[in-house]
Amino acid sequence: MKIAITGGAGFIGSHVVDAYISAGHEVVILDNFSTGKRENINPDARVVEIDITSADIDLLFKNEKFDILNHHAAQIDVRVSVNDPLFDARLNILGGINLYEASVKYKVKKIIFASSGGTVYGEQEVFPADETHPTRPLSPYGIAKLTNEHYLYYYANNYKIDYVALRYGNVYGPRQNPHGEAGVVAIFANKLLDGTQPIINGDGKQTRDYVYVSDVARANVLVLREQAKGIYNIGTGEEIDVNIIFSMLRETVNPQCEEIHGKAQKGEQKRSCLSYQKIYDELGWKPQMDFTLGLKQTVGFFYQQI
């Protein structure tokens, strides 16, 4: 199949590109390189430098005749969305609609969307949360992800275009950006390696469901199947708090580093944990990477970047 993947030069997107190419698909990366890196690009992929909000998206889809749209391009920082909701909405909502309109117009068969289980549920009532859990996002970023899901349901209902929304847990692994605010594993690992002091937000007891990027990429391949439709959580069903992340990384990288806490951040939920039972039952997906090994592989990647 011919697959367009937005954000294909980014952290998660580039791993999905690799998985698609390994599975024998033709891949075209759409990226404006605002955060994506050219060194992440698979040499067997074709690259179109374009912004997802651009009017040129229409002509591109007309000429390329894609079978699948995989939409990973996004403003990914929850705190940026809290500080500038309008900026977040322009990219994460209007950019999505721009892509979906072109997909409908030029008969894309399926849209796969990178959503966020870590933010769309808000403060959970049950742990782990399944896909029927109430959605009460606490940040504009989470609101934008949920809004995209609603638009995809609208397009599926009115134009019969299939979609899958993958509600990711906290994805970690090689190629994650260690210089932004998204991705505590990458940020802490990089700071410990270069001798900079990591700061834990608040009491550090906030928990997340950490899922390794290769497991996420494998899920993106599985949902290409015709029977895969609707919403799926992609997580491990396990909670790990920030203090534990820091402790494990410190032990591996720099045992002398102090544990220092800073202010809690706005828009940051306390606990997040996702059930993957639905995608396991329907497609046989389950997480394969052990967290301790995943941390070691992530640290090894950042060590090579020094």
Task: Report, as residue numbers or ranges, the catalytic residues.
Answer: 141
> Which pairing describes strands 68-71 and 200-201: parallel, antiparallel, or unpaired?
unpaired
- C-alpha 138: how far from chain center: 17
φ and ψ at 137, to 5 degrees? Answer: -60, 145
Q: Beta strands of 79-122 (E only): which ranges? A: 110-116
Question: Residue 249, SS3?
Answer: helix
CB of 240 closer than 8 Å to CB of 204: no
CA 69 to chain centre: 15
C-alpha span between 285 and 277 (Å, rounded) = 9
Q: What is the DSSP letter of 286?
A: -
Dihedral sign computed on CA atoms, order 117, 94, 230, 19: negative
**Single-letter residue type at 35:** T
| 3-state SS assignment for residue 98 | helix
Nearest residue to 233 via CA among 269, 205, 267, 209: 209
Peptide bond into 128 cis (omega under 30): yes
The partner residues of 241 in beta bridges, in order of sequence, read: 207
